[in-house]
Structure 1
Amino acid sequence: MRTLTVAAFISLDGVIQAPGGPEEDPGGDFRFGGWIVPYADEASGQAINELFAQPFELLLGRRTYDIFAAYWPGKNDHPIGDLFNRVAKHVATHRPDTLDWQNSHALKGNLADAIRVLKQQDGPRLLTQGSSDLVRQLLAAGLVDELRLMTFPVVLGRGKRLFGDDALASAFTLAHSITTPAGVLISRYERSGEVRTGSFEDVD
């Protein structure tokens, strides 16, 4: 059985839309595309390289797939491009016949059930990038084992968010964290069961 990791660039108010550039996802008249660029430094680049250092297969929503498929093919001279071109890509899509990027496979049937089947198989971990709609469905179904978050010191006010109101209540343990010189908090959280509650009246 393999695990599922959600990796995301996220603002202080939970937005993950269009972090890399103005044209990435302008949906909903989002006007802050490229909001992570001013914070890029060697430390954040190293964290991204470490994320991809262990074997993985990509799990993508259709919009993110299309963005990646328009950019990465042919860029095998780039370390991430070489990886993305080689690994298997599992895609949530209603248009399976249009998956032209090499090693791309459409998820069939009910999305949550299809991902449960993937997780039960042998193989490397499943890793999401972007794919906000898909990620919210994964969180609602309780399928996420690990969160790799790069939290940027900015409030965007609007945009697609990582967590929806239907996310399954779950506890996570902070396994590792660092802060970059630019003020980006890089954190790794591992799922650790159900949410625990209590009352301060019971504390001596």
Structure 2
Amino acid sequence: MGKIVWSVNFTLDGVVQDPTGEEGFRHGGWFGQFGGKDLDEWAKALFAEALGTEALLLGRRSYEYFVARGWASRSGEWADRLNSLPKYIVSSTLEEPKWSNSTVLKGEAVREVSKLKQERDGDMVVYGSYQLGRMLMEHDLVDELRLMVFPVVLGTGERFFGETGDKKPMRLINARTVGDSLVLLAYELVRDA
């Protein structure tokens, strides 16, 4: 059985909205405020995560984000790894994916992801994909959260966690500084707590 890992970048106050500044959010672009050692080490951490992953699980908008940034045609170790991985896109509207090794999961999302989790082994990483991630959390399909915290407070914007039907107990399994300013936190979800 596979393990679903939701991997997210967010601000200290939990904002995930418009990290690159392309969506028009007035506080957008917070990701790009960090550079040098921080982003070099961030890239190393995400590359290591990609090496330990057996598949990607993406919502349609996150899938389109990767495709629009040319990941399908990039080269280099990180791009080669992402391009070689099986990619599962949860979407009712995407017809023909353009990224190699991509499969669209068109049925009822919870059922399709549950089935995929039973059929696959190893980690399946969800990058971003907030609507998908929240739905998976609500249905207890996420096994681990990997949270890269950027040290900025925006005060407003779409937050990582939305409302849940019940509390979600977690156990810290790793915490480390990335670069000079970022923190990577890993939590496993505790079942039947």
TM over 0.5: yes
CA-CA distance at 1:124 after TM superposition: 3.0
- In structure 1, the residue matched to 2:78 is 80
- In structure 2, the residue matched to 1:98 is 96
- In structure 2, the residue matched to 1:8 is 8
- In structure 2, the residue matched to 1:201 is none
Instruction: Map Cα deviations across residues 58-116 of structure 1 (whole Å, 9 max, x no partner).
Output: 111111111111221110x2222112211111112122323122211111221111110
State the 4+ residue runs in structure 1 displaced beyond 4 angstroms. none
In 2, the alpha carbon distance for the partners of 1:43 and 1:104 equals 28
CA-CA distance at 1:39 after TM superposition: 2.6
- In structure 2, the residue matched to 1:64 is 62
% of aligned pairs identical?
34
In 2, the alpha carbon distance for the partners of 1:90 and 1:123 equals 14
CA-CA distance at 1:160 after TM superposition: 2.5
Among candidates 32, 42, 49, match of residue 37 of structure 1: 32
In 1, the alpha carbon distance for the partners of 2:128 and 2:55 equals 14
1:156 counterpart = 2:151:
no
Letter of the 1:121 counterpart: E
- Given that residues 17 and 132 in structure 1 are in contact (C-alpha distance below 8 angstroms), is that contact kept between their aligned partners in structure 2? no
TM-score, length-normalised on structure 1? 0.84
Instruction: Map Cα deviations across residues 136-194 of structure 1 (whole Å, 9 max, x no partner).
Output: 11111111100111111111223232211126422111111112353211111112224
- SS in structure 2 of the partner of residue 97 of structure 1: coil
Where structure 2 has 5 or more consecutive residues not aligned to the other structure, the ranges are none
In 2, the alpha carbon distance for the partners of 1:35 and 1:57 equals 28
Shift of the 167–61 alpha-carbon distance from structure 1 to 2, 3 Å rule, reads farther
- Given that residues 50 and 82 in structure 2 are in contact (C-alpha distance below 8 angstroms), is that contact kept between their aligned partners in structure 1? no
TM-score, length-normalised on structure 2? 0.89
Shift of the 14–51 alpha-carbon distance from structure 1 to 2, 3 Å rule, reads same
Q: Considering only aligned residues, what root-mean-square deviation do their CA atoms show, in Å?
A: 1.8
Letter of the 2:167 counterpart: A
In 1, the alpha carbon distance for the partners of 2:166 and 2:85 equals 29
Shift of the 152–69 alpha-carbon distance from structure 1 to 2, 3 Å rule, reads same
Higher mean displacement: 129-138 or 163-172: 163-172
- In structure 1, the residue matched to 2:131 is 133
Larger Rg: 1
CA-CA distance at 1:32 after TM superposition: 2.9
In 2, the alpha carbon distance for the partners of 1:160 and 1:179 equals 25
Among candidates 43, 46, 49, match of residue 48 of structure 1: 46
Letter of the 1:36 counterpart: F
- Given that residues 171 and 188 in structure 2 are in contact (C-alpha distance below 8 angstroms), is that contact kept between their aligned partners in structure 1? yes
